[in-house]
């Protein structure tokens, strides 16, 4: 041990749109708009990780990033003039909820942007991201399975999980069981501890099971409570699987797939506003709790 | 009179970066980070206007839009399922602070996006904005000088003011005295009242003076207190004019240029975090007050 401690802060625990979503009056959003204390407001999906508490890596940069920084003292600038404890950012794919916050990280702050080649290509094709000026923000392509250290003592490996291309890049028939750079998980290791961050995943695989078995903490796709949720609530026409997300419950769900991993701390992140587990004290929230899972909230601090 | 009343809500009163800015420890930001009550937190530049209080037009969509909607009851969805009082959006140019919030307006909500041809071209060239799906979000090109009604009883006219291209589109020598679609003001009329919204302007012109004389309320570029501010504070190498902004004070300033318009209500918007007028009770704030100007704050409601 070298005094390093692997820590994570959940900056945003919601899925795309957050809770409440700007145009939504679903059951959960109605409670949130009305100020009902059973539903916490949640910003969009992002995690900060560190091993020294001084320098932080962002996993995903959500559209809510400016507010998330303001709400998180560990990420406030320190010292004189311009500075930030955020020294590196890693979007797990090119979803709007995962890259729009890069636009907040402008103002000529030195930074390293790590991403897969396909994510970097998408960013390069959208010139608005040039606000991250090339002379101060270095863009580094990261291959799947390549271990690198974005911060001293913190190692990162990206790995593919089943998923689909971002919604705004969908064309023609959509394959939701792609395994490639489109949907990745992040293996984080530091201070002798291992954390997995998998905000989107369409189904369990043997290689993912092996990674979970070796981890101390897993933050996992909690988008939907069950596969038919969006259709039943009148919010959409797609099943969870068509959206590229394993549901929390039911056949092929995450609670089922993770039942074997009793020794791993399990936390749901990327939780959609339609998900009734967001209502504290609801039968659905109780069921998730009984299955041994936590439901993340904004500002949640995790010591791995 | 037909019962319509021209109203505006300042959703965001800050310039790009807001107050505090994520990586800034300037005098104003230091006070904001420390929680000093003399400096209000401010989100990035955006205004909502309405004549019936039910349907709203957004002038600019800032990166902070999701939070701005949550903080503004008039913009919360009502009724069942998915809905929004926001029925139209008009970005005044393609600055990140003015268009990034469009990414928040996804989730298949019908909407009309009005903008100049050059702004629409820039958005089209950045495919990430395709999250505003073409089958629900109509994009309408608006010419300078063309009067149109984005909401019943609310008429809008865009007009050119001196300025420059957005920072992220700058190439080679930068002209800061361009008059074209790059920097526009908005003339808003409804219920017999007239409001001007000019969040960026490099210098006064005779045609702008004529518009001001005919208006009841003017919301004007309050980016900088004086022309040398960014250089003196060690925050940049550019004068206000090089940034395309008239300073509040000094030669060629807005307070000087507006001195003749005693009968018009004058409000500064788009205020940069470097601007000492943001410190309540400061000599600079007192000077702006004495000149007959208000400094906008988030949530400010204006009845024109």
Average pLDDT for chain A:
92
- Smallest CA–CA separation between A213 and chain B, in Å? 36
Over residues A250-287, the pLDDT tens digits come to 999 999 999 999 999 999 999 999 999 999 999 999 99
Instruction: Please report residues of B whose CB lies closer than 8 A to that of A76.
Output: 33
CB A23 to CB B131 under 8 A? Answer: no
- Smallest CA–CA separation between A241 and chain B, in Å? 18
CB A76 to CB B130 under 8 A? Answer: no
What is the β-pairing status of strands A56-59 and A86-90?
Answer: parallel
% of chain A surpassing 90 pLDDT: 82
A18 phi-psi bin (left φ>0, alpha ψ -120 to 50, beta other): left
Q: Which of B80, B102, B94, B82 is nearest to A130 (CA)?
A: B94
- Predicted confidence (pLDDT) at residue A5 exceeds the cutoff of 70: yes
Instruction: Please report residues of B whose CB lies closer than 8 A to that of A130.
Output: 168
- Domain parsing of chain A, residue ranges: 7-303
Instruction: Please report residues of A whose CB lies closer than 8 A to that of B67.
Output: 64, 67
- Smallest CA–CA separation between A168 and chain B, in Å? 5
Per-residue model confidence (pLDDT) at position B175: 57
For A59-68, what is the mean pLDDT? Answer: 98
Q: What is the ipTM of this complex?
A: 0.92
CB B84 to CB A128 under 8 A? Answer: no
Closest residue to B131, CB basis, from A24, A41, A168: A168
CB B81 to CB A168 under 8 A? Answer: no
Instruction: Please report residues of B whose CB lies closer than 8 A to that of A83.
Output: 23, 25
Q: Which site among B66, B95, B101, B171 would you substitute to test the A interface, given the most A Cβ atoms closer than 10 Å to its Cβ?
A: B66
Per-residue model confidence (pLDDT) at position A177: 60
- Smallest CA–CA separation between B130 and chain A, in Å? 6
Q: Which of B5, B24, B150 is nearest to B91 (CA)?
A: B150
CB A127 to CB B169 under 8 A? Answer: yes
Over residues A167-224, the pLDDT tens digits come to 555 656 655 666 677 789 999 999 999 999 999 999 999 999 999 999 999 999 999 9
pLDDT in tens, chain B (304 residues): 458 999 999 999 999 999 999 999 999 999 999 999 999 999 999 999 999 999 999 999 999 999 999 999 999 999 878 899 999 999 998 989 999 999 999 888 999 999 999 999 999 999 999 999 999 999 999 999 999 999 999 999 999 998 875 555 565 655 566 667 778 999 999 999 999 999 999 999 999 999 999 999 999 999 999 988 888 887 788 888 777 889 999 999 999 999 999 999 999 999 999 999 999 999 999 999 999 999 999 999 999 9
- Give pTM, 2 decimals: 0.93
CB pairs under 8 A between A and B: 138
Q: Which residue of A has its CA nearest to B234?
A: A81
Per-residue model confidence (pLDDT) at position B81: 80
Residue that wins the pLDDT comparison between B175 and A105: A105
> ∠ CA B148-B209-B11 to the nearest 5 degrees?
55
Closest residue to B168, CB basis, from A79, A107, A130: A130
Q: Are B219 and B225 in contact (CB under 8 A)?
A: no
Instruction: Please report residues of A whose CB lies closer than 8 A to that of B135.
Output: none
What is the β-pairing status of strands A111-115 and A147-151?
Answer: unpaired
Over residues A146-163, the pLDDT tens digits come to 999 999 999 999 999 988
Closest residue to B100, CB basis, from A26, A67, A100: A100
Confidence of residue A87 (pLDDT cuts 50, 70, 90): very high
CB B105 to CB A22 under 8 A? Answer: yes
Rounded CA separation A67/A70 (Å):
5
CATH 3.40.640.10 at A7-303, yes or no = no
Q: Are B298 and B68 in contact (CB under 8 A)?
A: yes
CB B84 to CB A167 under 8 A? Answer: no
CATH code linked to domain B7-297? 3.60.15.10
């Amino acid at each position: 041990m070298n005094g390093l401690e692997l820590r994570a802060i959940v900056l945003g625990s919601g899925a795309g749109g957050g809770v409440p979503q700007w145009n939504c009056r679903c059951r959960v959003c109605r409670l949130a708009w009305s100020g009902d204390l059973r539903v916490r407001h949640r910003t969009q999906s992002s995690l900060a990780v560190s091993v020294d508490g001084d320098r932080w890596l962002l996993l995903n940069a959500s559209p809510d990033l400016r507010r998330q920084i303001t709400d998180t003292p560990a990420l406030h600038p320190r010292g004189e003039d311009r500075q930030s404890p955020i020294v590196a950012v890693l979007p797990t794919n090119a979803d709007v909820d995962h890259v729009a916050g890069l636009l907040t990280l402008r103002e000529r702050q030195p930074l390293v942007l790590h991403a897969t080649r396909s994510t970097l290509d998408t960013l390069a094709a959208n010139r608005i991201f040039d606000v991250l000026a090339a002379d101060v923000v270095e863009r580094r392509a990261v291959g799947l399975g390549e271990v690198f250290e974005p911060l001293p003592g913190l190692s990162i490996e990206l790995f593919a999980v089943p998923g689909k291309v971002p919604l705004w890049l969908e064309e023609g028939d959509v394959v939701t069981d792609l395994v490639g750079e489109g949907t990745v998980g992040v293996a984080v290791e530091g201070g002798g501890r291992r954390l997995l961050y998998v905000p989107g995943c369409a189904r369990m695989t043997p290689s993912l099971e092996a990674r979970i078995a070796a981890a101390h903490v897993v933050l996992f796709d909690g988008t939907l409570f069950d596969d038919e949720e969006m259709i039943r609530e009148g919010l959409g026409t797609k099943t969870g699987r068509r959206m590229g997300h394993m549901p929390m419950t039911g056949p092929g769900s995450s609670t089922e797939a993770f039942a074997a991993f009793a020794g791993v701390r399990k936390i749901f992140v990327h939780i959609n506003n339609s998900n009734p587990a967001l209502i504290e004290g609801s039968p659905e929230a109780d069921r998730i709790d009984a299955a041994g899972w936590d439901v993340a909230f904004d500002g949640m601090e995790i010591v791995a």
